Chains A and B, each alone.
Chain A
Amino acid sequence: GQQLNQSPQSMFIQEGEDVSMNCTSSSIFNTWLWYKQDPGEGPVLLIALYKAGELTSNGRLTAQFGITRKDSFLNISASIPSDVGIYFCAGRAGGTSYGKLTFGQGTILTVHP
């Protein structure tokens, strides 16, 4: 099946720092989604991207749909302690069943006050 490579696997940062993470795929994707998961909870959708080159913001979060359609990036500016959690990218490859997503392995973010 499709595979997504998400990096980094984990990040340890100080409060106030900016964060960047990315996902790459071996095939072209039509959709990129970014989720955040708190411990013991279900993932929450942060940003959805549907067009190559699209840049979308949600508060301090900004995500981009790569121009090659094989990657996506998520940036968090001025991190705060509540940003702690696991961030997942997800995407739908061209030719797959409608709605069927592939998920990255996640980036574990730790923010030190």
Chain B
Amino acid sequence: DGGITQSPKYLFRKEGQNVTLSCEQNLNHDAMYWYRQDPGQGLRLIYYSQIVNDFQKGDIAEGYSVSREKKESFPLTVTSAQKNPTAFYLCASSSPSGARNEQFFGPGTRLTVL
């Protein structure tokens, strides 16, 4: 089945440790995105990539880093510099063909920093 996978579903880390969240898609989409979701809030864009080996900062990039070495993969690293990393992280992808902007989401990773 085509889709987006995120692993793990739940992640616990100690304060001060870096942690990497995985996102893989087999939809052959060019663009991929990382969002952060906090209770009672909408989705806030962390980083996005429209093509392999290129990515741009979103609205809340501080304390995060990404790489895009393969079309299928867009891992997100939450660094120790992120002051409040506990949140629900969502990965999405889209295929910017024509005028369509539809993004499709993975199941999310809930990160808890203890």
Contact = CB atoms under 8 A, between A and B. Distances in A.
Interface residues of A, number: 27
Contacts of B42: 4, 6, 88, 103-106
A97 B101 contact: no
A16 B24 CA distance: 39
Nearest to A41: B107
B96 A43 contact: no
Contacts of B26: none
A99 B108 contact: no
Given A40-B108, A42-B106, A42-B107, A99 B40 contact: no
Size category of the binding interface on chain B: 20 to 34
Contacts of A35: 105
A69 interface: no
Contact of B41 (A42, A90, A101, A105): A105
Contacts of A50: 99-100
B107 A92 contact: no
B56 A33 contact: no
Given A99-B48, A99-B96, A33 B107 contact: no
Contacts of B96: 98-99
Given A1-B59, A50-B99, A100-B45, A42 B105 contact: yes
Interface string A24-45: 0000001101010000111111
Interface of B: 4, 6, 31, 33, 35, 40-45, 48, 50, 56, 58-59, 88, 90, 92, 94, 96, 99-108, 110
21 contacts: A30-B99, A31-B99, A33-B101, A35-B105, A40-B88, A42-B6, A42-B106, A42-B107, A43-B43, A45-B104, A48-B101, A88-B43, A98-B50, A98-B96, A99-B48, A99-B94, A99-B103, A100-B48, A103-B43, A104-B42, A106-B41
